[in-house]
Amino acid sequence: MRHDNFKFIDSEIKRFNSMNLSSVHAHNEFSDWSREEYRRMLGLRNMPAPETHGEVMEESGVPNAVDWVAAGYVNPVQNQGSCGSCWAFSATAATESAYAIKHGKTSLYKLSEQQLTSCSSSYGNGGCNGGWYYYAWDYTKTYAQESESNYPYTSGSFGVTGSCKYNATYGLVKTAATDYTKVSGTTSAMQTAVALKPNSVAIQADTTYFQTYSSGILTSSACGTNIDHAVVVTGYNVSSTGTGYWIVRNSWGTGWGNKGYVWIGQASGAGICGIN
């Protein structure tokens, strides 16, 4: 079975790399996974879109390029493992960066994804079975997020949500009622928002086009627009050929993509991979 899975992905990689795309595709740890195993990590399935607080629109005068990773406001890439907790990693990374941007680089805490995974079910999340970063932030309005060192991540090994072990004594960061808002789905509005801080976004990631990404820029409609995975936009730039792209932090470890990152091309409508 593993060999058959690998052969299928190998044929897809060869097909993509023969198409003169702006992206390069290669094998990674998912090459022998079944489609069911792979999709288990995609934790936004069948989640209703929540109400949001206001909307960010485009503004003039935003920078031509932004990179919060290079600026030192983004923690290293992590690996969610075989748990559909992408939403918890997206919410946590965005919170960590926002807090550090407001309070200084020395306040770049490493917060606990496990706390969100195990403790926020009453707010609408389903642990390893999926959730929303919105619901995670609703939870942290009441329960301050602990550090990862106090509440380490364990769900990735076996895909088990785990029981809540929250300890308020160790809570570090809470979310205010107006700390998050919707961003209008245009490139200029998203640039306005990302110029302020990294943003949580939802994309479609269940295609082999996305799974086998290694480097370059995803610009094909083959990525789809049916969102099922949460990630974080940590910046944007323009390639040497004039293609605008988003710098996106994934939560599949540094062995996937470009050291854990993917560049997604900027486009109108729903956007590449539905990122808009």
| Banded pLDDT at 54 (limits 50, 70, 90) | low
> What's residue 179's pLDDT?
73
Q: CB neighbours (10 Å) of residue 11?
A: 11
Give, rounded to a whole angstrom, the gap between the first and last alpha carbons of the chain.
36
The answer to whether 199 and 191 are in contact (CB under 8 A) is no
Handedness of CA 189, 195, 200, 205 (dihedral sign): positive
pTM of the model: 0.96
Report the alpha-carbon distance of residue 270 to residue 17 in Å, rounded: 25
* 206-228 average pLDDT score: 97
Q: How many CB atoms lie within 10 A of CB 124?
A: 16
- Partner residues linked to 66 by β-bridges: 236
**H or E segment at 17?**
helix 2-17
Question: Which sequence spans correspond to the domains of the chain?
Answer: 2-274
CATH fold of 2-274? Cathepsin B; Chain A (3.90.70)
- The 3 state secondary structure assigned to 246-273 is EEEECCECCCCCECCEEEEECCCCCCHH
pLDDT at 272 over 80: yes
Determine contact, residues 220/208, Cβ cutoff 8 Å: no
Which residues have C-beta within 8 Å of that of residue 24, sequence separation ≥ 6? 17, 214, 215, 216
CB 218 within 8 A of CB 241: no
Q: What is the maximal distance between C-alpha atoms in the chain?
A: 56
Catalytic residue set: 86, 229, 250
User: Alpha-carbon distance 170 to 273, whole Å?
Assistant: 38
Closest listed residue to residue 80, CA positions, set 47, 49, 44, 134:
44
SS3 173: strand
The single residue listed with the structure tokens 């209008």 is 184
| 118-160 pLDDT, tens digit each | 999 999 999 999 999 999 999 999 999 999 999 999 999 999 9
Residue 46 has pLDDT above 90, yes or no: no
Q: Copy the structure tokens of residue 152.
A: 């380490």
Measured in whole angstroms, the distance separating CA 153 from the mean position of its chain's CA atoms is 17
Confidence category of residue 53, pLDDT binned at 50, 70, 90: low
